Structure 1
Amino acid sequence: MAQAPTGTIADLVAAARDRVPAHTALLDGPTGASLTWARFDAAVDAFARTLVAQGLTQGDRVALLLPNGLDFCVALFGVIRSGGVAVPINTDVPAAEAARVVEHSGAAFGLGVEAPTALPAPDLDAPAAEPFPAVGGGEDVAVLAYTSGTAGAPRGAMLSHRALLANVEQCSALRPAPVTAADRVLLAVPLSHAYGLSALWQVAAAGATGVLLDRFGVDRALAVCQERRVSTLVGVPAMYRAFVTAGAERLGEALSTVRLATSGAAPLDPRTLAEFRVETGLSIYEGYGLTETGPVLTSTLASGVAKPGSVGKPIPGVELRLVDSDGGTLEVAPDEDEVYYTEEDTGTGLVAVRGHNLFSGYWPDGAHGPDAEGWFRTGDVGYLDTDGDLRLVDRANDLIIVNGFNVYPHEVERVVGELPEVAEAAAVGVPDERAGERVKVVLVLRPGAELTEEAVRAHCADNLARFKVPETVEFTLELPHSVTGKISRAGLRGRPGR
């Protein structure tokens, strides 16, 4: 394994300033306000000085509740350069949840959120001055990223400078490179999320231009892509599903400068991939990762083909294996001499990973991080196909057990999603006295479509084993999602069927 990176993640900004000082670093998509790398670096220095003047010492947590914008980016890098720990909070969370994160993290400073010491907005016009010497680096925590809570209460993942810099290097080694110096990258995924932050780190590492979008709307996003000549899309499945509704003519105009589209944070359904390719001529390269892994682990860029249902191979510098519940190895990727299972059921296991990009455990004591050998079990279940590409089945804790048989929700959702009337589906387990659990599916229909419970069950009976067929079918206007579009199944289990 390569040597772990040293230095700080804020060094990326200083390096870009030295290489391309006059190049646009950040561009606000809707307003056109911008900062060159030289001005951005000066603003970061100024905010770091403000923090120290306010009493910040190394390791202090700073909560940031701001939308994607110039202020957030300057504040984020300023906190990190000063030796503080950034605690980004999504602007869509309820006030009580934001307060819980502030309290749990012990944040002494806050911007956009109530904290013991309130901070002023960054000075975007700060003049260049003597460089502020970056504090810390290496194993010091740079970002305390709170997970989405799909597996329970949100927890703070401790991401060190080493982990974040390692993931930047790993992603940069992909070909084609996700971000190059010539790119204008759409930053519409919330920068409060590890996936959005990953794109920002890569923009800084390449000295590219980040095009910021504070909230996503399909018309708004397409207008920004067209006007700002975006060349790289960093998105989530919900964004691409919205894009395909715009039609080929509108997409052709708006995305004429796009060379690369990537997706992550949630499974990309094959229908969206196919429709986007037909409408634009572009493939969507899907990746997989977690907040705890810095975040990127695999990508179809590493495989060289955007294959439906696949999240590709491990990116350079990441080791991946599938293990059973006791930790025994089932499969390893991506060695050339490995033999891969051809049947899903024979090779399915828990995804375990190792690399310098892994977190340092959960706040505050580093619990439940990588084991003594550096391996971390993700909680996701998957298998390797005949090409050695990873295919995810589901979260281990979303597994439905019917009469002792395993039912993976994603499999049921995929079959139900084949019905043309269905826009989105979520499958969950509900208690059953005889079987232990039964399958319930909650559906959102396409506008104007009609569908009966009987038709859904009949289609499932034709395509699934009997114990996987939903006992209950519920229709709803919308499903609950995380900030990156991932279905939140937990709240669906207690809802009664129609």
Structure 2
Amino acid sequence: MARNVADLVRSAAALVPDGTALLDQRTDRMLTWAGLDAEVDRLARGYLGAGLEPGDRVVLSAPTRIETCLAVFGVLRAGGILVPVAPDSPTRVIGTVIADAGARFGIGVSGVPELTPGDPVDTLPEAGGEDIAVLCFTSGTAAGPNGVRLSHRALLANVEQCARIEPAPVTAQDTLLLCLPLHHIYGLSAALFQVAAAGASAVLLDGFHPDEVLDALGARQVTSLIGVPPMYAALLDRGAERLAKACARVRLLTSGAAPLPEAVLSGIREATGLEVHEGYGLTEAAPVVTWSLVSGTAKPGSVGRPIPGVELKLVDNDGSELPEPDESGDDNDEGRIAIRGDNLFSGYWPDGERGPDAEGWFVTGDVGYLDAEGDLHLIDREGDLIIVNGFNVFPHEVEEVLDALPGVREAAVIGVPDERTGEAVKAVLVPVGELTEEEIRAHCAARLARFKVPSVIEFAETLPHSPTGKLFRRKLRG
């Protein structure tokens, strides 16, 4: 029988039946692994009794709560395809996802029949393996969202690849605080599915609130926190002493989805004695690709090395592989990141187009370089590249310089049309105190080539971010 992602729950129930599986921080509701498995089974049989058929798409829009986890595993055990969307998505966006996915049912959404359990059936389908388990619509392109087809095989492969890191990032003795949204593959696979695979415990918290997270870390004796850079910056702002006390039992802090500023990394280390281990991933890889846990060293600016079972190389625009980095680490070529592994997706919805090539390689839209030790450094998304008079400007490079300027809380850089140069560099800054455009340009001119210095500067109270902390440059362009 092909393996199903929901089998993780069944295996955990056999391994640690009385162990705490899920605990809701706000309601104190708790399920053991045996209890969770029984509830998932009941839901799956009820969903099938209500008319769900294997391969049906189910749009799920729900908060990070026990009920959502039950629905996730229940739909998957019944052979359905989960289509997660953010609970705060506009009605228009949810309607587009429903239409594009051809969804028959929904949970927590309007515009499609609500999936509620009916009379339970006796037999569960043998869904798994190459069958699609999750259909994630990403917002990566101007042409509209791409539906990423993730099979049971891909999701289980990534869980197993992460578990092969030594020491393992999640064990049966761990309690993980999960406040990431479950509609994003980061929270769904890199957190929830890994907890299930290890038979660990997850404390669920719907949404990130620094004080609530700090309280939960201590009160629930949390040993692992999975987060994104804005979370760690906010926790650090609450004071080093309070953070250190809250992290008394924590052994592992991990971060992904966006670059972690060096000041935050060093601040967390000084306050707690813990490193924040960064990783790199994408929905198409289910999602983890690299992690600093592989080497065991958190290196500022690096997202680590490929996890076991994942291959990575850098390629030129024509697809040819770039040379290995030299021993000095100087003059390392920047290239497009290509990856290969059993965790890769099955192409884009609906027909599986633009997936891995005949040799299993998938060229991402990310640009980076490898240092002399083989650690990956991200530069930017290929689509965010700004071209000024034919010269390439990567926004993240300019943002790093701006972030280092006292008086700048956060910076975003985008390209804007320019009649003379084709494109110009525009910086949008969230200031702390008084800053002038002249001071900003002088700071950049001392550290960047002239064509990289922002010619357009704007100030804002906040910058737009995704639920996982990723900067939404597309909204700034709009």
TMscore range, shorter length:
over 0.9
Deviations 1:198-225 (A, max 9, x none): 2111000000001111111111111111
Kindly indicate whether the alpha-carbon contact (under 8 Å) linking 1:71 and 1:121 is maintained by their aligned counterparts in 2.
no
Q: Which amino acid aligns with 1:453?
A: E
Partner of 1:330: helix, strand, or coil?
coil
Query: Residues 347 and 44 (structure 1 numbering): CA distance in 2 closer, same or farther, change over 3 Å?
Result: same
Match of 2:267 among 275, 290, 309: 275
Of residues 324, 341, 346, the one that matches 1:360 is 346
Cα deviation, residue 375, structure 1? 0.5
1:95-494 equivalences under 5 Å are 95-120=91-116, 133=124, 135-149=126-140, 152-198=143-189, 199-331=191-323, 339=326, 342-343=329-330, 346-446=332-432, 449-493=433-477
- Quote the Cα distance in structure 1 between the aligned partners of 2:117 and 2:310: 38
Separation in 1, partners of 2:431, 2:282: 30
CA contact (8 A) 1:58 1:135 kept: no
Assess, with a 3 A threshold, how the Cα gap between structure 1 residues 363 and 40 changes in structure 2: closer, same or farther. same
CA shift for structure 1 position 342: 2.3
Summarize the Cα distance change of 1:343–1:490 in structure 2 as closer, same or farther, 3 Å threshold.
Answer: farther
1:270 partner letter: E
Deviations 1:237-270 (CA, angstroms, capped at 9, x unpaired): 1111111101112112222111000001111111
Task: Identify the range of structure 1 (283-292 vs 246-255) with the bigger mean alpha-carbon deviation.
Answer: 246-255
Change (3 A) 1:373 1:258: same
Residue-by-residue CA offset, 1:158-216 (whole Å, 9 max, x unaligned) = 00010001000100011221111011111111111011012111000000001111111
Query: Of the candidates 31, 34, 39, which is equivalent to residue 38 of structure 1?
Result: 34
Distance in 2 separating the partners of 1:383 and 1:218: 34
Contact persistence 2:281–2:288 (CA under 8 A): yes
- Superposition CA RMSD, Å: 1.8
The one-letter code of the counterpart of 1:185 is L
CA–CA separation in structure 2 for the residues paired with 1:157 and 1:293: 10
CA contact (8 A) 1:341 1:347 kept: no
Residues 483, 54 of structure 1: CA spacing in aligned structure 2 closer, same or farther, 3 A cutoff? same
Q: Structure 2 CA distance, aligned partners of 1:62 and 1:281?
A: 44
Q: Would the aligned equivalents of 1:350 and 1:378 in 2 still touch at CA under 8 Å?
A: yes
Shift of 1:119: 2.1
Q: Deviations over 1:354-398 (max 9, x none)?
A: 000000011111111111111101110000011110000000110
> Any stretches of 5+ residues in structure 1 without a counterpart?
124-128, 333-337
Give the unaligned 5+ runs of structure 2: none
In 2, Cα distance between equivalents of 1:88 and 1:33: 23
SS for the counterpart of 1:96 is: helix
Query: Contact 2:303–2:376 (CA<8 Å) still a contact in 1?
Result: yes
- For the 8 Å contact 2:45–2:121, the answer to whether it is kept is no
Task: State the secondary structure of the residue aligned to 1:93.
Answer: coil
Q: Normalized against structure 1, the TM-score is what? A: 0.93
SS at match of 1:139: coil
User: 1:6 deviation in Å?
Assistant: 4.4
1:48-68: per-residue Cα shift (whole Å, max 9, x none)? 011111111110011111000
Match of 1:10 in 2: 6
Matched residues in 2 for 1:117 and 1:142: separation? 20
Report the TM-score, using the length of structure 2 for normalisation: 0.96
- Tell me which residue corresponds to 1:335: none
Which whole-Å CA distance do the structure 2 matches of 1:482 and 1:97 have between them?
15
3-state SS of paired residue (2:416): strand
Per-residue CA distance 1:442-475 (angstroms, 9 max, x = gap): 01123xx211111110000000011110001110
Q: Which amino acid aligns with 1:275?
A: G
Residue of structure 1 in register with 2:21 after alignment: 25
Q: Distance in 2 between matches of 1:171 and 1:159?
A: 17
Summarize the Cα distance change of 1:429–1:340 in structure 2 as closer, same or farther, 3 Å threshold. farther
The Cα of 1:135 is off from its aligned counterpart by 2.8
Report how far residue 134 of structure 1 moved: 5.3
CA distance in 1, matches of 2:125, 2:306: 32
Deviations 1:42-101 (A, max 9, x none): 110111011111111110011111000011100000000001001111112212211211
CA contact (8 A) 1:63 1:89 kept: yes
Q: Contact 1:251–1:279 at 8 Å: present in 2 too?
A: yes
1:29: Cα distance to partner?
1.4
1:90 aligns with 2:86: yes
CA deviations on 1:325-360 (whole Å, 9 max, x unpaired) are 11000046xxxxx7467235x510000000000000
Q: Deviations over 1:309-339 (max 9, x none)?
A: 000000000000000011000046xxxxx74
